[in-house]
């Protein structure tokens, strides 16, 4: 089965929102989730043919 980066991205966003809403922040875990989101965002952009940060490229 093909991995679904958009679904994984949505799940990580929900997890990040939950972690940020907690009274005691787990910053190493938050940083790790943010790094994972950045990698997934690049995978999603690559899937759609975008390179770099400029969607007009």
Domain boundaries, the chain: 5-47
Which residues lie closer than 8 Å to 33 by C-beta, 6 or more apart? 12, 15, 16, 19
pLDDT values of the chain reduced to their tens digit, one per residue, 57 residues:
567 888 899 999 999 999 999 999 999 999 999 999 999 988 888 887 777 666 665
Task: Provide the whole-model pTM.
Answer: 0.78
Question: What is the reported pLDDT for 42?
Answer: 86
């Amino acid at each position: 089965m093909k991995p679904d980066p958009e679904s994984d991205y949505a799940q990580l966003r929900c997890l990040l929102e939950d972690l940020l809403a907690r009274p005691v922040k787990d910053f190493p875990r938050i940083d790790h989730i943010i790094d994972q989101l950045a990698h997934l965002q690049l995978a999603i952009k690559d899937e759609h043919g975008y390179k770099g940060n400029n969607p007009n490229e």
